[in-house]
Chain A
Amino acid sequence: MQARLGLLPLDISGVSLGRVKRAREEPFDRDAAYMLPTPDTSHVAYERVYEPAEDSFLLLDTLSSATETAFLQTRFGEGYAPLVVEVGPGSGVVIAFVNAQAQALFGSRNVLTAAVDVNGYACKATGETARKAALENATTHGSFLGALQGDLVAPVRDRLVDVLIFNPPYVPTPELPKQPRQADLPALDAKPSFDDDSYMLSLSYAGGRDGMETTDRLIDSLPQVLSTKGCAYILLCAQNKPEQVKQRILGFGEAWKVATVGSSGKQAGWEKLQIIRIWVE
Chain B
Amino acid sequence: MKVLSLNFLTCAVKACKSSSNSYPLHPKDAELVQDDLEVNAQLLLNLLPRIDWTALSTTATELGFPALPPQAPSVEELQSDEKKLRDLHNLLMETQIMEGKLVCANCGHEYAVREGIANFLLPSHLV
Known: A110-B46, A150-B12. A181 touches B116 (CB 8 A): no
Q: How many residues of B contact A (CB 8 A)?
A: 32
Q: Which residues of A contact B96 (CB under 8 A)?
A: 146
Q: Let me know if A120 and B119 touch, CB within 8 A.
A: yes
Contacts of B127 in A (CB 8 A): 181
Q: Contact at A180–B121, with CB atoms within 8 Å?
A: yes
The distance from the CB of A139 to the nearest CB of chain B, in whole angstroms, is 11
Is B117 in contact with A188, judged by CB distance below 8 angstroms? yes
Q: Which residue of B23, B114, B116 is within 8 Å of A187 (Cβ)?
A: B114
Residue B63 interfacial (CB < 8 Å): no
B56 an interface residue at 8 Å Cβ cutoff?
Answer: no
Do the beta carbons of B43 and A110 come within 8 Å of each other?
A: yes
Q: Which of the segments B3-11, B26-34, B64-72, B76-84 contacts the partner chain?
A: B3-11
| Given A148-B118, A188-B117, A81:B8 Cβ within 8 A | no
Chain B contacts of A188 at CB under 8 A? 114-115, 117
Interface residues on A, range: 35 or more
Count A/B pairs, Cβ under 8 Å.
105
- Known contacts being A81-B50, A83-B8, A109-B40, is A147 close to B117, with CB within 8 Å? yes
Expressed in whole angstroms, the Cα–Cα distance for A109 and B111 within the complex equals: 31
- Asked if A156 is an interface residue, CB under 8 A from chain B, the answer is yes
Contacts of A124 in B (CB 8 A): 115, 117
Q: How near does chain B come to A27, taking the closest CB pair, in angstroms?
A: 35
Report A205-250 residues with CB < 8 Å from chain B CB: none
With beta carbons under 8 angstroms apart, the residue of B5, B46, B93, B118 that contacts A79 is B46
Contacts of A81 in B (CB 8 A): 43, 46-47, 50
Task: Write out the residue numbers on chain A whose beta carbons fall within 8 Å of the beta carbon of B114.
Answer: 187-189
Residue among A110, A120, A158 with most chain B CB within 10 A = A110
What residues on A are CB-neighbors of B23 within 8 Å? 157
When the two chains form their complex, are residues B121 and A112 in contact, meaning their CB atoms are under 8 A apart? Answer: no
Partner of B118, one of A149, A157, A180: A149
1/0 per residue, CB under 8 A from A, across B83-127: the answer is: 000000000010010000000000000010011111111111001
* Chain A residue at smallest Cβ distance from B22: A157
Residues of A close to B124: CB separation below 8 A: 181, 183
**A148 vs B119: C-alpha distance when bound (angstroms):** 6
Taken together as a complex, chains A and B put the C-alpha atoms of A187 and B119 apart, in Å, by 10
CA distance A188 to B119 in the complex (A): 10
- Which residues from A are CB-within-8-Å of B120? 116, 148-151, 154-155
Give the Cβ gap from B63 to chain A, nearest Cβ, in Å.
Answer: 15
A114 near B: Cβ within 8 Å?
yes
Which 6 residue pairs spanning A and B have beta carbons closest together? A150-B120, A146-B1, A81-B46, A154-B12, A155-B120, A110-B43
Task: Give me the interface of A with B, judged by CB distance under 8 Å.
Answer: 79-81, 83, 109-110, 112, 114, 116, 118, 120, 123-124, 127, 143, 145-151, 154-158, 160, 180-185, 187-189
